[in-house]
């Protein structure tokens, strides 16, 4: 699977302007912010996929080669982070996150390496120079940590709605009240109940993620 195809799967083939209009029409909330992040991240990754079709070759000046290599690696890392971030946003929104095929990132790296090889042939670099650069570039790890990302959405998927309700009406939607709403128990929850504690921790993780994305709550 290519990066472009992966992006299309995430965006469900909808047009960017339509998806953006839908997102901006929603009430101001953490949910609206995540929806906008989903739209914009998907579009950014689509542009990266399109730009990869016409890649720039390394500079002719040997002095600029290390800078080009560092910039290229940084860009690849950014694509990987954006893909992982997008999957996490999808989880909070209640969408089924698309699996990231590690070969997508490897293909991006291989394309960058092919640019180097093509440039090296033009500039007359030695086999030793090429081998040293390729070894350093291709052996840098592109695999993330296995398992669940620290602080991901709670397993029941209630964190986002709980946060939205709490931000709208904190008095009406206290955490015990939220636990009453989301957890199937006959007795009202108390502030020290296990369900309330888990919900608070899930919302705390979500808030940290929203802060990482740049979310600032408006209004009260």
Examine the domain organization and report whether 110 and 165 are in the same domain. no
Examine the domain organization and report whether 50 and 129 are in the same domain. yes
Distances 34 to 25, 128, 137, 213 between C-alpha atoms, Å: 13, 48, 34, 9
Domain annotation covers residue 148: no
Domain annotation covers residue 154: no
pLDDT of residue 7: 65
Examine the domain organization and report whether 17 and 94 are in the same domain. yes
Buried b (16+ CB within 10 A) or exposed e, 126-149: eeeebeebeeebeeeebeeeeeee
pLDDT of residue 26: 67
Could you list the residue range(s) of the whole structural domain that residue 53 is in?
3-138
Number of neighbours of residue 8 by Cβ within 10 angstroms = 16
Please, what is the average pLDDT of the chain?
Answer: 76
pLDDT of residue 152: 41
Give the pTM: 0.69
- Residues with Cβ within 8 Å of 138's Cβ and at least 6 positions away in sequence, in order, are 109, 110, 113
Domain annotation covers residue 172: yes
pLDDT of residue 71: 78
Examine the domain organization and report whether 130 and 202 are in the same domain. no
Examine the domain organization and report whether 14 and 102 are in the same domain. yes
pLDDT of residue 121: 74
Q: Which of 88-92, 100-104, 151-155 has the lowest mean pLDDT?
A: 151-155
Pick the closest to residue 45 from 6, 103, 12, 16 (CA basis). 6
pLDDT of residue 214: 92
pLDDT of residue 47: 82
Pick the closest to residue 159 from 98, 86, 208, 219 (CA basis). 208
Examine the domain organization and report whether 165 and 130 are in the same domain. no
Q: Which of 117-126, 191-200, 202-211 has the lowest mean pLDDT?
A: 117-126
Examine the domain organization and report whether 82 and 173 are in the same domain. no
Examine the domain organization and report whether 115 and 204 are in the same domain. no
Examine the domain organization and report whether 134 and 170 are in the same domain. no
Examine the domain organization and report whether 178 and 134 are in the same domain. no
* Domains contained in the chain, number: 2
Q: Which of 21-25, 46-50, 107-111, 176-180 has the lowest mean pLDDT?
A: 21-25
- Among 83, 108, 138, the domain-final residue is 138
- Residues with Cβ within 8 Å of 100's Cβ and at least 6 positions away in sequence, in order, are 6, 83, 84, 87
Q: How many percent of the chain have pLDDT more than 90?
A: 11
Examine the domain organization and report whether 116 and 182 are in the same domain. no
- Among 138, 167, 183, the domain-final residue is 138
Domain annotation covers residue 186: yes
Residue 110: CA count within 13 A, CB half-sphere: 7
pLDDT of residue 200: 92
Examine the domain organization and report whether 194 and 105 are in the same domain. no
**Residue 207 confidence (pLDDT) above 90:** yes
């Amino acid at each position: 699977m290519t990066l472009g195809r992966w992006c299309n799967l995430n965006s469900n083939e909808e047009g960017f302007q339509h998806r953006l209009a839908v997102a901006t029409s929603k009430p101001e909330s953490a949910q609206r912010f995540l929806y906008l992040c989903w739209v914009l991240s998907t579009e950014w990754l689509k542009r990266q996929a399109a730009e990869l079709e016409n890649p720039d070759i390394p500079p002719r000046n040997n002095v600029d080669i290390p800078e080009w290599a560092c910039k290229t690696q940084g860009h690849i890392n950014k694509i990987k982070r954006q893909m992982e971030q997008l999957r996490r946003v999808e989880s909070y929104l209640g969408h089924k996150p698309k699996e990231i095929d590690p070969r997508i990132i490897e293909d991006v790296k291989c394309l960058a390496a092919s640019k180097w090889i093509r440039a090296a042939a033009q500039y007359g670099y030695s086999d030793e120079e090429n081998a040293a650069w390729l070894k350093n570039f291709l052996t840098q790890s592109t695999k993330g940590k296995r398992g669940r990302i620290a602080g991901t959405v709670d397993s029941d998927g209630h964190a986002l709605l709980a946060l939205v309700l709490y931000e709208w009406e904190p008095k009406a939607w206290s955490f015990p009240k939220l636990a009453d709403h989301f957890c199937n128990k006959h007795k009202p929850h108390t502030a020290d109940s296990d369900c309330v504690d888990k919900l608070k921790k899930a919302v705390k993780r979500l808030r940290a993620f929203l802060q990482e994305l740049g979310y600032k709550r408006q209004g009260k």
